[in-house]
């Protein structure tokens, strides 16, 4: 099956938006993707027909809202091929999922003198929570290096492991460069050294088939809004035997079993980690986004986006003075670049005048900018609703912008 691009584009109402009389060209999917009508409808339908709090009432609406949310959890479990729904925890997004693990895992598994590993290519969300935890617990934060082409220096990464390494937390796919890390190799190496692995999957779930049991990863975090779902919801996948040993991250309703002023006992998984009223409509929206992607076929999406990436890369490479940041073979549909003598912000602003949305700046990855010796990039990130014709419009606008700026 191939992609029916006209049908797909018709599913996304925002794609017919005009920006200053120009047709919108949306290449900022790495920041957040657009939402198909099916996802919007699923959330509207919840508010129109099912709205009620979950796991609380015996009344009809509360029961159908609870069923809708828990069926969504089961759908997400299937999509992840997690062994059980107890391993699928609803959070606000990738950032909260990583904070949860940094906070809770460290309380039982990490002691003074241990070390953990991250890499230079991480988003700040996969650096700062670990850095804070390391300071508090007097734990060393080791940093794996990135080669000039944007790949991880695997030999160096392996050399960082010691018998006190408790965890490595890595981007599955870099948000700046689109580089896909060899996560299976790293997971098996970490496990053979007794360390656990967390993957920041924020940029992986929109583009690839994800299988928790096949990866054998210990923790995996992602956000719905980058994979055609709503903002405000994400997932923490964790292996049950680890989650069971970890203390709750936040406290309140829903996550408790019995409460008295003397003592409180906690609910079972996954509810132990879900304090307060969950983001019910958004959870339903995420499940619907997964259905939408699966209808097209995640491998079809990946193949089509790869074609877009190759098409854009071959055109960009022809521009004098343009350097692509991250030019490994194994990449998702993200292309970041700098142009000699031109500020990335100026390029982004001029592209916006042509109706083209790209992201400019450090992309919440300041350590990567430093290691690449740059202050920021222009980033075009493609989704399966983008087209080669849009890349042609982008290239024409980029050439005009560069003529004005050089």
CB under 8 Å to 62, separation ≥6 — which residues? 52, 53, 54, 56
Stretch that binds ligand C6P, among 120-128, 278-286, 288-296, 387-395 (CB under 6 A): 120-128
* Of the residues 34, 35, 46, 93, which one makes contact with ligand C6P according to CB under 6 A: 93
Distance CA(222)–CA(96), nearest Å, equals 10
How many Cα atoms within 13 Å fall on the side-chain side of residue 23?
11
Candidate list 24, 209, 364, 395, residue with the active-site label: 364
Site string for ligand C6P, 364-403 (x = CB under 6 A): x---------------------------------------
The helix-helix angle for 37-45 and 280-296 (nearest 10°) equals 150
The DSSP element (H or E) to which 78 belongs, if any, is helix 60-80
- Catalytic annotation present for 134: no
**Residue linked to tokens 């096949």:** 214
Which residues in 52-91 contact ligand C6P (CB under 6 A)? Answer: none
Going 40 to 42 to 43 to 49, the CA torsion angle's sign is: positive
Q: Which stretch binds ligand C6P (CB under 6 A): 15-23, 189-197, 262-270, 356-364?
A: 356-364
CB of 31 to ligand C6P, least distance (A): 3
Q: Which of 175, 181, 371, 377 binds ligand C6P (CB under 6 A)?
A: 175
- Tell me the C-alpha distance between 190 and 211, whole Å: 18
Q: 375 burial class (0-12, 13-18, 19+ CB within 10 angstroms)? A: middle
Minimum CB distance to ligand C6P, residue 95 (Å): 3
**DSSP symbol at 24:** P
Least CB distance to ligand C6P at residue 93 (A): 3
Collapse the DSSP code of 221 into the 3-class scheme (helix H, G, I; strand E, B; otherwise coil) and give the result.
strand
The separation between the first and the last C-alpha atoms of the chain, rounded to the nearest angstrom, is 45
Number of H helices, E strands in the chain: 14, 17
What is the dihedral angle through the alpha carbons of 382, 385, 388, 390, rounded to the nearest 10 degrees?
-80
Find residue 164's DSSP bridge partners: none
CB of 157 to ligand C6P, least distance (A): 18
Residue nearest to ligand C6P (CB): 175
Q: Is 336 in the site for ligand C6P (CB under 6 A)?
A: no
Find all residues with CB under 8 Å of 338, minimum gap 6, and list them: 322, 323, 325, 344, 374, 376, 377, 378
Sign of CA dihedral 129, 224, 219, 210: negative
Q: Which of 52-60, 142-150, 196-204, 384-392 is the region at the interface with ligand C6P (rule: CB under 6 A)? A: 196-204
Write out the binding residues for ligand C6P, residues 144-173 only, by CB under 6 A: 171
Which one among 35, 77, 123, 196 touches ligand C6P, defined by CB under 6 A?
A: 123
**Residues in contact with ligand C6P, shown as a per-residue x/- string from 251 to 290 under the rule CB under 6 A:** ----------------------------------------
Task: Supply 177's token pair.
Answer: 């460069």
The SS3 assignment for 6 reads: helix
5, 19, 31, 302: residue in contact with ligand C6P (rule CB under 6 A): 31
Q: How far apart are CA 291 and CA 302, in angstroms?
A: 16
Among 42, 94, 99, 288, binds ligand C6P (CB under 6 A): 94
Q: Does 202 bind ligand C6P (CB under 6 A)?
A: yes
Task: For residues 113 and 354, give the distance between their C-alpha atoms in angstroms, rounded to a whole number.
Answer: 54
- Which of residues 3 and 30 has its CB atom nearest to ligand C6P in the complex? 30
Q: Which lies closer to ligand C6P via its Cβ, residue 35 or residue 65?
A: 35
> CB under 6 A: which stretch of 5-13, 118-126, 143-151, 310-318 binds ligand C6P?
118-126
Least distance in angstroms from the C-beta of 60 to ligand C6P: 34
- Looking at the Cβ atoms of 151 and 223, the one nearer to ligand C6P is 223
Interface with ligand C6P, residue 363, by CB under 6 A: yes
Structural contact between residues 177 and 326, judged by C-beta atoms closer than 8 angstroms: yes
30 belongs to the binding site for ligand C6P (CB under 6 A): yes
Which is nearer to ligand C6P, 68 or 228 (by Cβ)?
A: 228
Residue 344 interacting with ligand C6P (CB under 6 A): no
Q: Which residues are catalytic?
A: 364
**Contact set with ligand C6P (CB under 6 A):** 30-31, 93-95, 123, 125-126, 171, 175, 200, 202-203, 223, 359, 363-364
């Amino acid at each position: 099956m191939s992609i029916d691009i006209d049908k797909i584009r018709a599913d996304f109402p925002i794609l017919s938006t005009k920006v200053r009389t120009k047709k919108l060209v949306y290449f900022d999917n790495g920041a957040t993707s657009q939402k198909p009508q099916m996802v919007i409808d699923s959330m509207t339908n919840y508010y129109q027909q099912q709205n009620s709090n979950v796991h609380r009432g015996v009344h009809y609406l509360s029961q159908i809202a609870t069923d809708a949310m828990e069926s969504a959890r089961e759908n997400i479990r299937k999509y992840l091929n997690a062994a059980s729904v107890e391993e699928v925890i609803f959070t606000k997004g990738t950032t909260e999922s990583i904070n949860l693990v940094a906070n809770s895992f460290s309380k039982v598994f990490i002691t003074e003198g241990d070390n953990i590993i991250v890499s230079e290519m991480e988003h700040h969300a996969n650096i700062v929570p670990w850095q804070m935890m390391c300071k508090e617990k007097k734990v060393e934060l080791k940093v794996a290096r990135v080669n000039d082409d944007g790949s991880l220096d695997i030999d160096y990464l392996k050399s960082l492991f010691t018998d006190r390494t408790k965890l490595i937390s890595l981007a599955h796919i870099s948000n700046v460069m689109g580089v896909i890390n060899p996560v299976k190799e790293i997971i098996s190496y970490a496990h053979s050294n007794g360390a656990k692995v967390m993957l920041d999957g924020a940029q992986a779930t929109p583009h690839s088939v994800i299988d928790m049991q096949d990866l054998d990863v210990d923790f995996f975090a992602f956000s719905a809004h980058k994979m055609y779902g709503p903002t405000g919801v994400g997932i923490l996948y964790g292996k049950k035997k680890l989650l069971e040993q970890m203390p709750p991250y936040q406290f309140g309703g829903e996550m408790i079993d019995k409460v008295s002023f003397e003592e409180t006992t906690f609910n079972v998984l996954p509810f132990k980690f879900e304090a307060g009223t969950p983001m019910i409509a958004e959870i339903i929206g995420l499940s619907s986004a997964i259905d939408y992607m699966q209808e097209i076929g995640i491998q079809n999406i990946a193949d089509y986006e790869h074609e877009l990436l190759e098409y854009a890369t071959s055109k960009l490479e022809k521009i004098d003075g343009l350097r692509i940041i991250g030019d490994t073979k194994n990449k998702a549909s993200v292309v970041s670049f700098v142009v000699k003598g031109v500020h990335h912000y100026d390029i982004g602003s001029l592209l916006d005048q042509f109706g083209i949305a790209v992201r400019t700046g450090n992309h919440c990855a300041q350590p990567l900018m430093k290691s690449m010796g740059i202050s920021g990039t222009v980033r075009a990130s493609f989704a399966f609703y983008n087209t080669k014709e849009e890349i042609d419009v982008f290239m024409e606008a980029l050439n005009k912008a560069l003529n004005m700026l050089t």
